[in-house]
Structure 1
C-alpha cells in the first residue's frame, strides 16, 4: 500500500528535537509494511524533503501551505498512485487530506488529536472559535470516509456534532518506554512532575495555585515542570509570587531520552489542562509506573476513577486535594499506577498501527 500521511509538524529531520514521539512510532511501524509519504505543513520554513524512520518526509513550508500540500500529494500520486490519504489532526491537515483524496478519488481518514472541536474564546484556542473554522470542520468531518479520535470524550464531542467516529488512541512505543514496576514512595518529600508546553490551554496557573495550597498546608514536595515556555517567563514569575521557589523547578524542554530517567523517579504526574485529546504524557508516565492526577479532560477523564484521578477544570482547590489524597494513600496510588500501566501497555504503538491498519483495509475493501 502507498499511504499519504498529513501532519502539522513533529517530524524534524533530527528525529529528536521538535518531534512528537507517537508520530514517529506510528510512522516507523507503518513504513515497515507500506510505502509512507508524510506531508508536513510546516516543520521548516522552506520547502524540503528528507527520509525519517523509513518514510519520505515532504515539508511544505511557508506560503499557501494547504494549496501547496494538495499539489504535492497530487504530484507524488502521478509518480505512483496512493491508496489512501490519512490526516492526523483535522483543521488544515484534515482539509488537505480530504481535498486531495476527493480530487484523486481516494478514500480518506481524519484523526482528531487536539483542539479541533472546541472554542475556548477566553484564551483564543480551538478550531471552532470562528465561523470559518466551524464551516471547515463541518465539511472535513462529513467528507472524510472515516473519522477517529484518541479518547472517549472526543468521541462524545463528535457524536454531539452528528459525526460517527471510532476511538483509536495514539499509543507509546514500548521499546522507547519499557514498562517499569510501580514503586512505593521511599522518601518523605513527594516528587511531582508536570510535562507540557507552558501555554494557556495547559493552564499552569491552576497548577501553581494548587501547589501553593499544598505548600501552605505543610506538604513537603518538589515539582519539576518540563516543557517549552511560550509565555515569556509568566509562570516562573507567578511561582515566585506564590512563594514556590523552594518547591518548583522549571526545567525547560527535555528530549525523550532526558525525560525518561526523570519520570522514573517521581511519584505523581499532575496535569491541569483546559482541554486534551490525550495527553500523551499520561501514557508515558503510566509505563514508567507513575499515576496521574489531573483535570477531567481526554484520557484523564476516560481513565478515571480506576486508572487516574480527575478533578474539574480550573478547580485548583480540587486539584490540590486530589494530589494530597493520592500521596497520603499509598495503596491507592500504587493501584492507580498499576491499572494505568496495564491500559497503556494494552494500547501501545503496535495497537495503534493494528487499529489504523484494520480501518485502511475496510476502506480499500469498500473501494473495490
Structure 2
C-alpha cells in the first residue's frame, strides 16, 4: 500500500528531539512493508522534506498550512496514487486528511489523540470550547471512514457524540523499552517520577498539593519531575511555597535514551492530568515494571483498579491517599506493576501497526465492494 499519514509534528529529522515516540514506532513498522509518506504540518517553520525510519517526511510549514498540505498530498498522489489517508490527531490534521481523501476519492482514517473532544474553559484548552470547533469535529469525524482512539474513555466520549469508534492504543516499542520484571523496593525512600510538560493540562498544582499531603504522613519519598517548563517557573515556585524542595527535583526535557534509566529506577509513576488520551508514559513505565497512580484519564482510568490506581481529576487529597496506599503496601505495588506490564506487552507498537493495517485493509475492501455494487446497479 501507499499510505499518506498526516501528523501535527513529532517527526523531527534528528529522530530524538521534538519527536513523539509512538509516531516513530508506528512509522518504522508501516514503512517496512508499505510506501509511507508522512505529512507533518508544523515540524519546522519552512517547507522541507527528509527521510526518517524508511518513510518520506513532507514538512508543510507555517504559511497556509492546511491548503498547502492538501496540495502536497495531491501532488504526491499524482506521481503514484495513494491507497489510503490517515490522520493522527483530529483538528487540523483530520481536516487535511479527510478533505484530501474526499478530493482524491480515497478512504480515510482519523485517530483522535489529543484534546479534540474536551472543553476545559478555565485553562483555555480543548477542541470543543467553541461552536465552530464542535461543528468542525462533528463534520470531519463523521466524514472519516474509520475513527479510532487510544483508550476506552476516549472511545466512550466519541460514542457519546454519536461517532462510532475503534479502540487502537498507541503502544510502546518494546525494542526501545525491553521489559523488566517488577522488582521490590530496595530503598527506604520511595522513588517517584512524574513525566509531562509543565502546563495547565498536566495540572502539576494538584500533583504538588498531593505530594505535600504525603510528606505530612511521614512516608519518605523523592520525586523527579521530567518535562519542559511552559509556565515560566511557576511550578518551581510552588515547590518552594509548599516546602517540598528536599523531596522534588526538576530534570527538564529528557530524550527517550535519557528517560529510560530514570523510569527503571523509579518505584511509582504519578500523573495528575486533567485530560489524556493515553498517556504513552504509563505504557513505558509498565514495560519496565513500574506501576502508575494518577487521575481518572485515558489508560489510567481503564486500567484501574487492577493495573493502576485512578482518582478524580483535580482531587489532590484522593491522589495523596492513592500514593500513600501504594507506598505502604508493597504487595499492592508489585501486583499493579505485574498486571500493568501484561497489558502494555499485549498492546505494544507491533500490535498498533497490525491494528491500523487491518483497518486499512477493511477500508479498502469496503471501498472496492461498494464500487462493485454501484457498478452492478448501473448495468
TM over 0.5, shorter chain:
yes
Q: 1:66: which partner in 2? A: 66
Residues 233-253 of structure 1: CA distance to partner in whole angstroms, max 9, x if unpaired? 100000010001000001000
CA distance in 2, matches of 1:26, 1:212: 39
Residues 4-57 of structure 1: CA distance to partner in whole angstroms, max 9, x if unpaired? 000001000000000001100000000001000000000000110000000000
Residues 252-273 of structure 1: CA distance to partner in whole angstroms, max 9, x if unpaired? 0000000000110110000000
Matched, 1:9 2:9: yes
Q: 1:256: which partner in 2? A: 256
Matched, 1:342 2:348: no
CA distance in 1, matches of 2:191, 2:166: 37
Give the Å deviation of 1:346: 0.2
Q: 2:52: which partner in 1? A: 52
CA distance in 2, matches of 1:338, 1:107: 40
1:45 alignment partner, SS class: coil
Q: 2:237: which partner in 1? A: 237
Q: 1:326: which partner in 2? A: 326
Q: 2:353: which partner in 1? A: 353
Segments of 5+ residues of structure 1 without an aligned counterpart are: none
Give the Å deviation of 1:214: 1.1
Give the Å deviation of 1:215: 1.3
CA distance in 2, matches of 1:322, 1:217: 13
CA distance in 2, matches of 1:326, 1:308: 10
Q: 2:102: which partner in 1? A: 102
2:111 alignment partner, SS class: strand
CA distance in 2, matches of 1:269, 1:352: 23
Give the Å deviation of 1:326: 0.3
Q: 1:155: which partner in 2? A: 155
CA distance in 1, matches of 2:216, 2:309: 22
Segments of 5+ residues of structure 2 without an aligned counterpart are: 369-379
Matched, 1:266 2:266: yes
Give the Å deviation of 1:219: 1.7
Q: 1:281: which partner in 2? A: 281
1:95 alignment partner, SS class: helix
CA distance in 2, matches of 1:24, 1:13: 11
Give the Å deviation of 1:299: 0.4
Give the Å deviation of 1:221: 0.6
Give the Å deviation of 1:216: 1.8
Q: 1:211: which partner in 2? A: 211
CA distance in 1, matches of 2:214, 2:326: 13
1:198 alignment partner, SS class: coil
CA distance in 2, matches of 1:90, 1:169: 16
Give the Å deviation of 1:105: 0.3
Q: Pairwise CA RMSD of aligned residues? A: 0.5
Give the Å deviation of 1:218: 1.6
Per the normalisation by structure 1, the TM-score is 0.99
CA distance in 2, matches of 1:319, 1:364: 46
CA distance in 2, matches of 1:64, 1:217: 55
1:193 alignment partner, SS class: strand
1:38 alignment partner, SS class: strand
CA distance in 1, matches of 2:3, 2:319: 43
Q: How does 1:97-246 map to 2 (within 5 A)?
A: 97-246=97-246
Number of residue equivalences: 368
Residues 141-179 of structure 1: CA distance to partner in whole angstroms, max 9, x if unpaired? 100000000000001000110000000000010000000
Matched, 1:316 2:316: yes
Residues 312-355 of structure 1: CA distance to partner in whole angstroms, max 9, x if unpaired? 10000110110000011111100000000000000000000111
4+ runs deviating over 4 angstroms: none
CA distance in 2, matches of 1:301, 1:215: 25
